[in-house]
C-alpha cells in the first residue's frame, strides 16, 4: 500500500454532497484528515476543524459510502454480506458505555461521550481486507487506541488487550443461535494495541458509524484481516494472559490469533495471495495482496523472530 504525505486542508476535501452521490474522491489523490469536536453519537456532527493530514492514510481512491455500509461481516445480524444493513437498524447505540477493567489504574464503566472528551478525532483512509480475498478502502474516523489506554493507565503486568462486543439478543437476532460462542471476542498483544496505526473508529467519511459497520465504537487494525476489527465494543480488558478470540476459538486451524495479512499463508480453503476490490465487479482484475496490507515498514518489527507461517 502506498503511503504519502500531503498538504491538503479540510477545504480541499470533496464535499459530502459529492461523495454521498457515489463519486467519493480525495482531492489531488491525497489523503485528508478530519478533526471533529464534541462527545458521543449525539454530538458527532459537530463543526469540522482544520487538522494536519494523517501520514498513515493510503492514497488509493476510497470506496463509496454505500459500498462500505452495504457489504459487511457482522454475524450478530446475519450470515449474508447484505444482512447487517437490513437488520442492524434495531440496535440501540445511545447511550453507550464501555467497561474498562483488568490491569489498569482507573477501571470503570465509561460513557462514550466521556471517552471522546479531549480526544482528537481524525480521518484515516485504510485498506480494509477480509480473509475471503476481497478488500475495500475505507475513510474511518476515530482516534488512536493508545490514547485511551494511556488515560486509564496500563499496569506493568499487562501484556494483552481483550475486547468484547455487545451481547443483546433482543436486538442482535443471531445471538439467539449457536453459530458462534457469543459474545464476540477479540484480542491484541499490548504492543500491537499501542501502535499508532490501531484506532478506535466512531465513524466513516464524516458520518457517525453506521450500525452495520460496528456503531458506535469499533476497532480498526489495518495490517490484520477484517475479522480482527471487533465491532460495537462494550468491554476492554488488560490482561497478562493471551485472551480468547472468537474465530481462533471457532476454527483454530483456519484463523490464527495474530491474523496478520500474509499472502504467503493460504487459508485452508482458498488462496490469500490476491484480492478483489469491492465495487469493481466480479470480473475486475485481481491485485496482489501486500504483506501486512502494505504496512510492513511500520509493523514488521513487532514480529521480529516469529515464524509467521506458524504464528498466523
| Average pLDDT, integer, range 302-310 | 95
Q: What is the tally of helices (H) and strands (E) in the chain?
A: 8, 14
Q: Report percent pLDDT > 70 for the chain.
A: 83
Residue 9 has pLDDT above 50, yes or no: no
pLDDT at 33 exceeding the cut of 70: no
Q: Which domains does the chain have, with CATH numbers?
A: 10-303 (3.90.420.10)
Q: Is the pLDDT of residue 18 over 50?
A: no
In the predicted structure, residue 7 carries a pLDDT above the cut 60? no
Sign (positive/negative) of CA torsion 149, 155, 158, 162?
Answer: negative
Average pLDDT of the segment spanning 107-129: 92
Reported as a single tens digit per residue, the pLDDT across 143-188 is 999 999 999 999 999 999 999 999 999 999 999 999 999 999 999 9
Q: How high is the mean pLDDT of the chain?
A: 84
Which tens digit of pLDDT belongs to each residue from 54-99? 778 998 999 999 999 999 999 999 999 999 999 999 999 999 999 9
Peptide bond into 10 cis (omega under 30): no
Question: 3-class DSSP state for residue 159?
Answer: coil
Q: What is the DSSP string of 2-70?
A: -B------GGGSPPHHHHTTT----GGG-----EE-SSSGGGTTPPEE--PPPTT-B-SPPPPHHHHHH
The residue ranking higher by pLDDT, 92 or 4, is 92
Using 50, 70 and 90 to split pLDDT, how confident is the model at 11?
A: very low
Residue at grid coordinates 459529492: 18
Confidence class for position 237, pLDDT limits 50, 70, 90: very high
Task: Tell me what pLDDT residue 53 has.
Answer: 56
Mean pLDDT of 237-242: 98
Q: What is the pTM of this model?
A: 0.85
pLDDT given at position 133: 84
Q: Which residue has the higher pLDDT, 273 or 51?
A: 273
What percent of the chain lies above the pLDDT cut of 90?
71
Other CB atoms within 10 Å distance of the CB of residue 286: 14
pLDDT above 80 (res 304)? yes
What's the confidence (pLDDT) of residue 132? 84
Average pLDDT over residues 214-233: 97
Strand (E) positions, 233-289? 233-239, 274-277, 287-288
CA distances from 68 to 89, 107, 139, 209, 221 (A): 16, 34, 10, 11, 16
Amino acid at each position: 500500500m502506498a503511503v504519502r504525505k500531503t498538504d491538503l486542508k479540510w477545504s480541499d476535501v470533496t464535499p459530502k454532497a459529492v461523495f454521498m452521490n457515489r463519486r467519493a474522491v480525495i482531492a489531488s489523490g491525497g489523503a485528508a484528515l478530519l478533526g471533529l469536536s464534541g462527545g458521543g453519537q449525539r454530538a458527532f456532527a459537530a463543526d469540522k476543524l482544520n487538522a494536519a493530514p494523517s501520514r498513515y492514510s493510503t492514497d488509493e481512491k476510497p470506496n463509496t459510502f454505500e459500498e462500505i455500509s452495504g457489504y459487511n461481516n457482522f454475524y450478530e445480524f446475519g450470515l449474508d454480506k447484505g444482512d447487517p444493513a437490513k437488520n442492524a437498524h434495531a440496535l440501540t447505540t445511545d447511550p453507550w458505555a464501555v467497561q474498562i477493567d483488568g490491569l489498569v489504574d482507573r477501571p470503570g464503566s465509561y460513557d462514550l461521550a466521556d471517552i471522546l472528551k479531549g480526544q482528537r478525532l481524525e480521518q484515516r483512509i485504510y485498506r480494509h481486507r477480509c480473509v475471503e480475498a476481497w478488500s475495500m478502502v475505507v475513510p474511518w474516523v476515530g482516534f488512536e487506541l493508545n490514547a485511551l489506554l494511556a488515560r486509564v493507565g496500563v499496569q506493568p503486568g499487562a501484556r494483552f488487550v481483550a475486547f468484547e462486543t455487545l451481547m443483546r439478543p433482543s436486538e442482535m437476532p443471531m445471538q439467539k443461535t449457536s453459530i458462534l460462542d457469543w459474545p464476540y471476542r477479540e484480542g491484541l498483544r499490548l504492543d500491537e494495541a499501542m501502535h499508532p496505526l490501531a484506532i478506535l473508529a466512531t465513524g466513516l467519511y464524516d458520518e457517525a458509524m453506521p450500525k452495520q459497520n460496528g456503531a458506535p465504537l469499533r476497532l480498526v487494525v489495518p495490517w490484520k484481516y477484517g475479522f480482527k476489527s471487533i465491532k460495537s465494543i462494550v468491554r476492554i480488558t488488560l490482561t497478562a494472559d493471551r485472551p480468547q478470540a472468537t474465530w481462533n476459538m471457532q476454527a483454530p486451524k483456519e484463523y490464527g490469533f495474530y491474523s496478520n495479512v500474509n499472502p504467503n499463508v493460504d487459508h485452508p480453503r482458498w488462496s490469500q495471495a490476491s484480492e478483489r476490490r469491492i465495487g469493481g465487479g466480479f470480473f475486475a482484475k485481481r491485485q496482489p495482496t501486500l504483506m501486512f496490507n502494505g504496512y510492513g515498514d511500520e509493523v514488521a518489527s513487532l514480529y521480529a523472530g516469529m515464524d509467521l507461517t506458524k504464528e498466523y
